[in-house]
Amino acid sequence: MIKQALAHLLCGFLTVVSVSALAKNDESYAKLLTELQQLISDHKFQQAYKISHIENQYLGEPAFDFLLGISALKTNQPATAVFAFERVVEASPQWYEARLHLVRAYLMVKNLPAADTQALILINAANTPKNIKTSAQSLLDAAIVEQQRAGRTYTQNIQLAFGVDDNVNAGTAEDTIIIPNLGEFLLSPDSKSTDDNYMQLNYRGSYSHPLDQQSLLTLSVNTAWYKFEALEQYDRVNTHINAAYKHKQDKLSWYVQAGVTPLILDGELYRTESSLVTGADFKLSKKSRLFGAVSFGVMNNKLDEKLDNTFIALNAGTSYVSQRWFQSVSINIKTENADVPAGKSNSRNILGMYYQANSQLAEHWQLLTLAGYQWIDYQDEHPLFLKDREDNLLMLTSTIRYLINDDLAIQLAANYQDKTSNISLFEYDRLDINLSVSYSF
């Protein structure tokens, strides 16, 4: 079958493309072409490739390059085949069979974008024979599948940290509180700030699955397990699970994401947050971009339905990247509405502003910082203190990381919170310092 195919493909073409050589009475060249064609027809590809490699003075002659490319493909020499067929289609753009073999050669060397381009040229050309178009479409489909496989990524990270939290329960520093119409009361130890040492084990995993050159599906899991030395009632497992569809076109990319965040406290499910997010990112330049998102969600508290709520949030910001710095500024507006009338005093509006700055200090050193401030206004009178609650929260985070290699890192982190309120029971400050080692694989 190969013999018949080659005979048909070359019979007419050799007469045309070899006329320059024949016009020069180069009988040896014509004899060489006949010999190579016969060897390929007889499946003697190694011998054909060896002879073609020796007779390299004919490189650039389309007929010779075509036969060289065929023998190179059949002897698993795809790089040689690529160069041979590239020369053929450059000299003879209408030689469709050569372009088809070029697609195959590109696939073998994993140059998938080039394979796509050449296949589409064949598919879209009006004069391409139907059988060539069919083969080109099959190769294009194969290239797309290969690109999807090549684009699939798995990333995982494990982090082990040891730290101290000087206010595990976010308790107040006050010893007593005054309740309207009831008087002054001594606070129990559970309501006051309590410090403890802890160990944290964190796992992060993500999977990316391209659907085509512009869109992909992602799945991510982030689980943190905290074990306290003395305050076992605050042992917890916090897990974030997100699945997203992402699409990118030119400077604009957008996504839709669904997520669930269960919190297990002291061995029991305490609450679950479920959310749906849609967002977009617009690239202003190589260094700057704008981003925004809208979130909808529900919070279900297993132990107290008065803490159940439905929320909506808007987030917008801008970022800038330089040689050593990444910086971003964002604003977040969130409204939480209680699901039951008894929990109306927990409904609140939150306005937050955040600044993030990350720096590559040196080859192995990184600095990560985040500053945020929230204004929190509750929508109804507190049932015990008989006034609308108003809180302000300052958040500061700083991490210095040393990269031992591409996979292993050591970091020291400090997290500080300072909350003020018009109700002293809800005021606190909190400092958490931890040292950790992380491994990516």
CA distance linking residue 170 with residue 361, whole number of Å:
33
Say yes or no to pLDDT of 3 above 50. Answer: no
Contacts of 165 (CB under 8 A, 6+ apart): 195, 196, 197, 198, 430, 431, 432
| pLDDT: which is higher, 143 or 330 | 330
| Its pTM surpasses 0.85 | no
Mean of pLDDT values over 279-296: 96
Asked if residue 354 lies in contact with residue 332, where contact means CB atoms within 8 angstroms, the answer is yes
Structure tokens at 419: 């909350």
pLDDT exceeds 70 at position 281: yes
pLDDT of 56 > 90? The answer is: no
Phi, psi of 214 (to 5 degrees): -120, -15
Going by C-beta distance under 8 Å and a sequence separation of 6 or more, which residues neighbour residue 309? 298, 299, 336, 337, 338, 339, 343, 346, 347
pLDDT band at 145 (very low <50, low <70, confident <90, very high): confident
Q: Tens digit of pLDDT for each residue in 332-391?
A: 999 999 999 999 999 999 999 999 999 999 989 999 999 999 999 999 999 889 899 999
Main-chain phi, psi angles of 355, to 5 degrees: -130, 130
pLDDT score at 1: 42
User: Which residues is 351 bridged to in the sheet?
Assistant: 333, 375
pLDDT at 2 over 70: no
Question: Which band of pLDDT confidence, cut at 50, 70 and 90, is reported for residue 143?
Answer: confident
Tell me the angle at which helices 45-54 and 27-41 cross, rounded to the nearest 10 degrees. 160
